[in-house]
A and B are shown apart, each in its own frame.
Chain A
């Protein structure tokens, strides 16, 4: 079971409360987690990564286990603790000033 924490606007958009829990088979990577997330909540398609290129949107980051994983290859395995469900993958929006 994979845990994902979404930023508040996407929590509202997906109509979920709290963190999202996903069941995955196979390698646990950014790509596979986001694939599963978008399959379960199609409304999130295009909001975290680009529809065509599948690149992370510029003002979003991926954190886990107190590390910034945003620049890792989407196919790199996520930390074991994320794969084991003891730590969440955090999708975070950049802080806005003004």
Chain B
């Protein structure tokens, strides 16, 4: 029987939640690495028992953990993230040049085909890769070096490379997103990159339609239709049908087009999910109602999904790496909150229930569907 493993990164440790395919009863295992910030945990598509975790701390810096048994045991692997060559500068909050400084790993994206190859998105924004299971990391410096790097600037949360999307149909293609630089694409396995931000409009930058400078919060794709990307930008939900060459807004009837997460149904490439959040600075659900919004039309028309979610006095946030889907039928959808809840829906969002209610603030949620 199928099994689901939910990998949760929190402000104070990692948790592994498991269930059978019914997704009604859950075992909670953790905390792993208690007291450390776990920005992301993700499993290898090529070997589901191979997991990688980004463990960090303001005191002790960055550690990368690897498990070969589905999260039962872990071993620290390499944590040396050194920028290639002379790092140079990016723009600081006040517009002055600021040296690139490594702070932490936000996102780990294992290769689709090789358990030992993993991409890491880091702050200050750059991309690293290991090909030996995490022992050694090398920067794919063509990203920072492609030309616009000195103009990138941090958002309020830091200048982080937070999203990495691999494309099974085009093995050399990689999409990434950076706050607050925008989205980028490589068609040669990470050697060279180009900004893919045409069509984005951001009123908080001097040139609203600039090629870089946009605060992209998250991008998502369906593996069977990888030229179509969906984006939750700081404001605006966007869509491209040509692998990022141009974008159009699909916010439609959302109560607010601000938010962090966005994801795609496992079997319906035009069914997408967002969690609208009130902003600019509040960062909690509008009207105290936690609602996932689903579009079955690839955007523009959205319906609120509220069954099982708190509809009064709810003031949590849902951070950018905190939503995921499983590949069962019906599709399971999961998200975590800064209030420590991890909600699951085993029927594509029609009905929700918390798996856990009282974890530390959730930073990331990933799901593995196991045979």
A binds B: yes
- From B62, B76, B79, B82, A52 is in contact (CB under 8 Å) with B82
Q: A7 to chain B: which residues have CB within 8 Å?
A: 59-60
Q: B62 to chain A: which residues have CB within 8 Å?
A: 46
A8 to B153 Cα, complex, angstroms: 36
Would B79 and A9 count as touching, CB distance under 8 A? no
Say whether B80 faces chain A, with CB atoms less than 8 Å apart: yes
**A94 closest partner in B (C-beta):** B59
Would A13 and B59 count as touching, CB distance under 8 A? no
Q: A52 to chain B: which residues have CB within 8 Å?
A: 82
Q: How far is the CB of A15 from the nearest CB of chain B, in Å? A: 9
**B34 closest partner in A (C-beta):** A12
Q: How far is the CB of B73 from the nearest CB of chain A, in Å? A: 12
Q: A79 to chain B: which residues have CB within 8 Å?
A: none
Would B57 and A9 count as touching, CB distance under 8 A? yes
Q: Is the interface of A mostly helix, strand, loop or mixed?
A: loop
**B62 closest partner in A (C-beta):** A46
Contact with B along A22-60 (1 / 0, CB 8 A): 000000000000000000000101111001100001011
Q: B36 to chain A: which residues have CB within 8 Å?
A: 9
A28 to B206 Cα, complex, angstroms: 55
Would A59 and B80 count as touching, CB distance under 8 A? no
Within A1-16, the residues touching B (CB, 8 Å) are 7, 9-10, 13
Contact with A along B52-64 (1 / 0, CB 8 A): 0000011111110
A52 to B61 Cα, complex, angstroms: 13
Contact with B along A49-89 (1 / 0, CB 8 A): 00110000101100000000000000000000000000000
Would A45 and B80 count as touching, CB distance under 8 A? yes
A57 to B76 Cα, complex, angstroms: 19
Say whether B35 faces chain A, with CB atoms less than 8 Å apart: yes
Would A46 and B59 count as touching, CB distance under 8 A? no
Known: A9-B35, A9-B36. A47 touches B82 (CB 8 A): no
Would A60 and B59 count as touching, CB distance under 8 A? yes
Would A93 and B59 count as touching, CB distance under 8 A? yes
A34 to B256 Cα, complex, angstroms: 52
Q: B57 to chain A: which residues have CB within 8 Å?
A: 9
Q: A47 to chain B: which residues have CB within 8 Å?
A: 60-61, 63, 79
Q: B59 to chain A: which residues have CB within 8 Å?
A: 7, 9, 57, 59-60, 93-94
Would B58 and A51 count as touching, CB distance under 8 A? no
Q: A94 to chain B: which residues have CB within 8 Å?
A: 59
Q: B35 to chain A: which residues have CB within 8 Å?
A: 9
A60 to B58 Cα, complex, angstroms: 10
Would A46 and B79 count as touching, CB distance under 8 A? yes
Would B60 and A51 count as touching, CB distance under 8 A? no
Would B61 and A13 count as touching, CB distance under 8 A? no
Would A9 and B80 count as touching, CB distance under 8 A? no
Q: How far is the CB of B235 from the nearest CB of chain A, in Å? A: 30
Would B79 and A13 count as touching, CB distance under 8 A? no
**A60 closest partner in B (C-beta):** B59
**A43 closest partner in B (C-beta):** B76
* Interface-central residue, A7, A47, A48, by most chain B CB under 10 Å: A47
The 3 closest A-B pairs by CB, nearest first: A47-B60, A59-B59, A43-B76
- The contact sample of 10 A-B pairs, CB cut-off 8 A, is A9-B57, A43-B76, A45-B79, A46-B61, A46-B80, A47-B60, A47-B61, A48-B60, A51-B82, A57-B60
